[in-house]
Amino acid sequence: LDLLFNTISHVGAFHSSKERFPPPKCYPDTRIDVLQELSHWITSNSWKRFVNHLIHPPGVGKSAICQTLCERFDISRGGEHLIASFFFSRSSPTRNNPKFLFLTIAYCLATFSKDSSLRSAIDTAIKKNPAIFEGSIEAQFHELIVGPLRSISSWRRWRVPKLVVIDGLDECAGSDSQRLILTTILDALVGPESSKLFASGLPLRFLIASRPEPAIKEIFYQPRFYYNSNRIILDDNYAASRDIEIYFHQEFARILEGHGTIPPPWPSPTAIDQLVQRASGQFIYASTVLKY
């Protein structure tokens, strides 16, 4: 496993990686509905619907949602669900590289599952084929994740499937790579061959967040995948405007406390309403306003 760690240690794609500090998180008392819906899916003891696609336009805060869920369910912090995370970033030459995705997930499985037999199985797979680090992402997924899980029986004691969070798939370099990642995961979890791999399904749940890019929609909307996965579209049905209003009120109140010379109410309710309308559900607009 030292080889695996040395290969992925510089990538910085974990939800807790120092390269992402400080990570975006949901503001208190916001995103309640979508967090509740996803939390229910994560903790459900159902061994169905192994994939949830979180779809978002730019700037609505999906990375904050993913980060908040990761911290809420992190096994290393006392949770029992999150076992791996990978946050893609278009601007990072390592975090936009598809070859590090399944290597990182395999390392997380070996390290955070607290399952010595799984750790040993992954270690054995690496020793059997050290060249897997330069192999295709399909080979990495099957040799370092599916194969080790199939070779052990201890996962059957897991109360629910473990959670893997992949954020920003659209920021992975190349639409072909995005398609390949999705088909590799979906075929194993919900494809026609999945029952041959695991009678009750691969014991992992994948939350995959992305913009609705054509290459990604093309895969998810195939009937064999569409009807066996969930999707959540982050529009105003999830009260984004209400959440942004809360954010403005609380942050402006904090600013007001530090400037005793400004008479309240500041800004006026009308000004806040106008800012909420201009934000159009985009938290990135709201955070930019408050910076200045």
The structural domains of the chain, ordered by start, are 2-235 (3.40.50.300), 240-291 (no CATH)
Torsion of CA 224, 225, 227, 231, to 10 degrees: -170
Residues 6+ apart with CB under 8 A from 230: 41, 49, 51, 52, 53
**Confidence (pLDDT) at 193:** 62
The yes-or-no verdict on residue 239 having pLDDT over 70 is no
pLDDT tens figures, 189-201: 877 666 655 555 6
**Confidence (pLDDT) at 153:** 83
- Mean pLDDT, residues 30-55 taken together: 91
* CA-closest candidate to residue 98, choices 23, 24, 19, 179: 179
**Confidence (pLDDT) at 198:** 59
The yes-or-no verdict on residue 237 having pLDDT over 80 is no
Residues 6+ apart with CB under 8 A from 134: none
**Confidence (pLDDT) at 236:** 64
Per the CB < 8 A criterion, the answer to whether 177 and 95 are in contact is: no
Q: What is the mean pLDDT of the chain?
A: 90
**Confidence (pLDDT) at 66:** 97
Between 144 and 75, name the one with better pLDDT.
144
Alpha-carbon Rg for the chain, nearest whole angstrom, is 21
pLDDT tens figures, 89-100: 999 999 999 999
Residue 74 per-residue DSSP state:
B
**Confidence (pLDDT) at 159:** 77
